[in-house]
Amino acid sequence: MSFRTDTGGAIDRNTLLRFTFNGVEHTGHPGDTLASALLANGVHEIGSSVKLGRPRGVVAAGSEDPTSLVQVEAPFSEPMLLATTVELYDGLVARGLAGQGKLSSEPDPARYDAKHEHCDVLVVGAGPAGLVAALTAARSGARVVLVDEQNQAGGALLGVDEYLDDRPSAEWVADIVAELKSTPDVLVLERTTAFGMYQDGFVLALQKRTDHLGFAAPASVARQRVWRIRTRQTVLATGAHERPVVFADNDRPGIMLASSARTFLHHYGVLPGSRAVVFTTNDSAYCAAIDLAESGVDIAVVVDARPEAPARLAAECAARGIEVRAGQLVTGTEGPGRVTAVQVGDDRIACDALLVSGGWNPVVSLFSQARGTLRYDAELGAFVPGRELATVRVAGSATGELDLTACTRQGRDAGAGAAAAAGFTSGSQVPLPASDSRCTARSGLVLWRVPGNDDASFVDLQRDSTVADVLRATGAGLRSLEHIKRYTTIGTAHDQGKTSGMIAAGIVAEALGVELSEQRPTTFRPPFTSVSFAALAGRDRGDLHDPVRVTSIHPWHVQHGALFENVGQWKRPWYYPQPGEDLHAAVLRECRATRESVGMMDGSTLGKIDVQGRDAGEFLDMLYTNMMSNLKVGKIRYGVMCGVDGMVIDDGTVIRVGEERYIVTTTTGNAAKVLDWMEEWLQTEWPHLDVHCTSVTEHWATIPLVGPKSRAVLAAVAPSLDVSNEAFEFMTWHDTEVAGVPARVCRISFSGELAYEINVTAWHGLAVWEALMAAGERYGITPYGTETMHVLRAEKGYPIIGQETDATVTPQDLGMSWAVSKKKPDFIGKRSFARAENNRSDRKQLVGLLPVDPAVLLPEGSQIVETDRLPEPPVRMLGHVTSSYPSAALGRTFALALVRSGHERIGETLYVPVEDSLVPVTVTESVLYDKEGARRDG
């Protein structure tokens, strides 16, 4: 049986849309929502409740609906959508949910998007108040954005058949929208929900752009877009939601809000049933009763909780043969699923729809999010906006006002006020419309619930929370609404308690015997309606999820089969496997080639900071633990940097390039942090210092050329450079030409081998790299990655910041007392070195570990214990393994570790629990290879 009216509604009856719900095929029309199409087909049972499995239907016509959750299965599986906000399209497949949906395991093929927008006046809500506010602001010349969650403007007018100024309200709406859209710098966004309001006029809104197109949605158009709106002034014209009354078995399908039934009639041409009971506490439901009666619904009775029915409306009902019973209540319902009868006093009245109105709740969520305070209006039985905010105005029924002309006057005032506050003078005045509505704007009786079976009286239908649950909470001593919300979970579902929150507050106040004006409402938090993570992610996914930083030499690495390691956002070559090689084999080969002949790597990611100024030396003396001001021009020094707590935060080299100019290097991952650290000290503590720091990380490509044959390779590409050990000493630099390109060559070694770091502008990086490869070919030059670099430096006991250190490690712990100046009067961290804690002999110190079995590789992170058998817990842990590798040079495995009293334990045997065994290891100095440094000069 069809419940579609013959005429009326914003639907296209000439076009048929096929869809499937719960496995059954139905039809609907363009303009339908899934909910309206289902109701038109007489389908009221949508899903079942989350805990109790009770059948549930459609309560409201819009985004406030607590029950009609569905899973859309096609075109793409998406959970937890409201049937009332899913626009119908051909081929839609959906099923009702029991409170929980299922995320698709397939990647969502749709595109998502974000856009920033700036305006003088943002108007939220395109109902009568919002339209007038937006037009008033627009006529002043302000930049205006108007957002509205529905697919067309009009707000509450879409759900009624009223005339404004003697013409259909749709015409009045259309005129205003047309003027707005033709005004420059005005943006009207339909299907757009402002879901979050934050500080300083920052508002997030979600626009559903192609959802309604279903299978026809173009793949190139972002399906949803998050608008990031920054506005100077905001007008909230967010309207009001009708509130139900709670009574026993109030959750059956077929029980819906009266105004929503009216909206289904006027906007979708759908009847809620054949025979309806109306239960109200106020005038507005009479209009629903009269309109539905005129459309052919048998209105069995209007039950008005008030002692007296409004005379004029009662007379209109009488004229249509509708019985009105004043001073009575609905006390219960019946039905196998959908409602079949309603209990009113002693009478059992058969019906297939029960339309309820308990009054109106202004939608104050965004106002509350913007830190607006709320005030309880006893006459409305609702929280309304309290004091206006400097940048946020509220207009229309969101204030609690119910009269249309008054609402639009508020809109006009708010629009003009907002524009004026943003510096615009009013343009021509927008005339206020008058409505022909029968239902006078009058508050009714405040009634939260009808006494009855508390266990079946549902407050939050989605959470299956009942009056009994609320009373259990208050009975347990809970008084704060915030606590009761968490105890009962009322208001925590997808709808955030739009229809249940106020009632819960009312029932709590009654139970506690307190005035609602003394109760603080629960805090409204974003999002106002559900927002998918896909929408929030926007285009920041896949390759764009996080920037991948690459060096100028990167294409070569890719071409030559490098595998990459992520270091911060950088992609660094990890190792270059040859056919058949795994990590282990490749690294052994790369290490051996480098130690025996020559290797090179891409070190461009190293942080580089140019430090200039008369006080540069003094500044660096304060930043590093060792002395830098006495470094001679042309020389290089290794430096350690500590935090104020004396713990190592970074290390690198300091290159003195001029009397007042240094270049310092940082670890790859800390480049930005170290520059910030320098700026912080310069700007906050030492503004008197004549020093400026500039990042040059990406200006330079850096290529370490390493190994006994590196000198010969360098000589081949830098003919004008005297590469002899005498002319080019360790820890010095020379400007020269490498492969015909101006270059700065530094003699620095992170492996103990003879080594050079060749710096050229990034533009030349690739060409110089290739020239070095060619020049080194006769020596079997081998490109190596970060893994080999790690092994080579570990063999020499050089720590890696972040691997050997963890913010509790001092330079002394690392065996670097030599890098801590005893002469300097002060430097960052110095004070801490005198602390008793820093001078304990049992601090964890960096040592080497050699497994007694040279083939055993210790897992990094392993704990270290003292005895060859584990004692009863707690077991004393001496420290942990920080680095562990097989070594080609040592012909065995080795590790670095932080061990309590490590320096004193050299020569001892300790034990490392690995799976079920304890592996014996010998503690050694951290330097395991070439202790005398014989290899440094080649």
Is residue 476 part of the contact set for other proteins (CB under 8 A)?
no
Phi then psi dihedrals of residue 420, to 5 deg? -65, -45
Residues facing residue 309 across a β-bridge: none
Candidates 484-492, 716-724, 760-768, 810-818: pick the segment binding other proteins (CB under 8 A). 760-768
For the chain, helix, strand, coil in percent to 5 are 25, 30, 45
Q: Does 766 bind other proteins (CB under 8 A)?
A: yes
Give the integer Cα–Cα distance in Å for 713 and 847. Answer: 35
Strands (E), 395-497: 458-460, 465-466
Quote the least distance from Cβ 800 to other proteins, whole Å.
21
Please identify, using beta-carbon distances, which residue of 673 and 699 lies nearer to other proteins. 699
The region of 303-311, 335-343, 545-553, 621-629 touching other proteins under the rule CB under 8 A is: 545-553
Build a one-symbol-per-residue string for 221-260: x at contacts with other proteins by CB under 8 A, - elsewhere: xx-----x-x------------------------------
Q: Min. distance of Cβ 892 from other proteins in angstroms?
A: 38
Number of residues that bind other proteins (CB under 8 A): 48
673 binds other proteins (CB under 8 A): no
Backbone dihedral angles phi then psi of residue 859, each to the nearest 5 degrees: -70, 135
Residues listed for the chain:
938
Sole binder of other proteins in the list 307, 477, 513, 547 (CB under 8 A):
547
| Member of 105, 116, 822, 872 binding other proteins (CB under 8 A) | 116
Cα–Cα distance, 230 to 201 (Å, whole number): 5
Binding mask 149-188 toward other proteins (x if CB under 8 A, else -) reads ------------------------------------x---
Burial 399-421 (b: 16+ CB within 10 A, else e): bbbbebebbbbbbbbbbbbbbeb
Q: Which two tokens stand for residue 631?
A: 């470094």
Q: By CB under 8 A, name the one of 53, 345, 555, 933 that touches other proteins.
A: 555
CB of 674 to other proteins, least distance (A): 16
Between the CA of residue 903 and those of 847, 861, 908, what are the distances in Å?
7, 20, 10
Copy the structure tokens of residue 431.
Answer: 């005339």
Count of Cβ atoms closer than 10 Å to residue 719 Cβ: 11
Residue 143 binding other proteins, by CB under 8 A: yes
Q: Which stretch binds other proteins (CB under 8 A): 213-221, 305-313, 722-730, 885-893?
A: 213-221
The rounded distance, in Å, linking the Cα atoms of 656 and 660 is: 8
- Smallest gap from residue 243 Cβ to other proteins (A): 39
| Residue tagged 């995320």 (tokens) | 103
Q: Which of 98, 715, 767, 877 binds other proteins (CB under 8 A)?
A: 767
Question: Shortest approach of other proteins to residue 321 CB, angstroms?
Answer: 56
Q: Cβ(849)–Cβ(924) under 8 Å?
A: yes
Whichever of 293 and 550 has its CB closer to other proteins, that residue is 550
Strand, coil or helix: what is 414?
helix
Positions 501 through 540 that interact with other proteins (CB under 8 A): 539-540
- Here the tokens at position 411 are 């809109």
Q: Which of 703, 713, 762, 899 binds other proteins (CB under 8 A)?
A: 762
Residues 260, 243: Cα–Cα separation, whole Å: 11
107 contacts other proteins (rule: CB under 8 A): no
Q: Which helix (H) or strand (E) holds 131?
A: helix 128-139
Query: Could you say whether residue 375 binds other proteins (CB under 8 A)?
Result: no
H/E/C letters for each residue in 177-212?
HHHHHHCCCEEEECCEEEEEECHHHEEEEEEECCHH
Is residue 793 a contact residue for other proteins (CB under 8 A)?
A: no
Distance in Å, CB of 122 to other proteins, minimum: 14
Using rule CB under 8 A, residue 612 touches other proteins: yes
Residue 199 found at the interface with other proteins (CB under 8 A): no
Please report whether residue 548 would count as binding other proteins according to CB under 8 A.
Answer: yes
- As a three-state string, the secondary structure of 416-435 is HHHHHHCCCCCCCCCCCCCE
Closer residue to other proteins (CB): 580 or 687 = 687
- By beta-carbon proximity to other proteins, the closer residue of 450 and 671 is 671
Within 858-887, which residues bind other proteins (CB under 8 A)? none
8-27 residues near other proteins, rule: CB under 8 A: none
Q: Could you say whether residue 735 binds other proteins (CB under 8 A)?
A: no
Q: What are phi and psi of 642, to 5 degrees?
A: -120, 160
- Name the DSSP letter for residue 107: P
Bridge partners (DSSP) listed for residue 202: 230
426 near other proteins, rule: CB under 8 A: no
C-alpha atoms less than 13 angstroms from C-alpha of 292 in its C-beta half-sphere: 34
Q: What's the gap between Cα 670 and its chain centre?
A: 25
Would you tell me the crossing angle of helices 467-475 and 481-488 to the nearest 10 degrees? 120
CB closer to other proteins out of 145 and 289: 145
**Beta carbon nearer to other proteins, 455 or 546:** 546
Q: Are 634 and 628 in contact (CB under 8 A)?
A: no
Tokens encoding 572: 């660094």
The residue within the footprint of other proteins, chosen from 181, 614, 831, 835 (CB under 8 A), is 614
Q: How far is the CB of 224 from other proteins (least distance, A)?
A: 13
Q: Which of 498, 424, 452, 552 has the alpha carbon at shortest distance from 141?
A: 424
By CB under 8 A, tell whether 111 contacts other proteins: yes
The span from the CA of 47 to the CA of 94, in Å, is 11
Q: Is 744 in the site for other proteins (CB under 8 A)?
A: no
Q: Does 558 bind other proteins (CB under 8 A)?
A: no
Per-residue binder mask for other proteins (CB under 8 A), 568-587, x = binder: --x-----------------
- What x-and-dash track marks residues 679-708 binding other proteins by CB under 8 A? -----------x-x-xxxxxxx--------
Q: Which residues of this protein are in contact with other proteins, per CB under 8 A?
A: 111, 113-118, 143, 185, 218, 220-222, 228, 230, 539-540, 543-544, 546-552, 555, 570, 610, 612-614, 690, 692, 694-700, 761-767
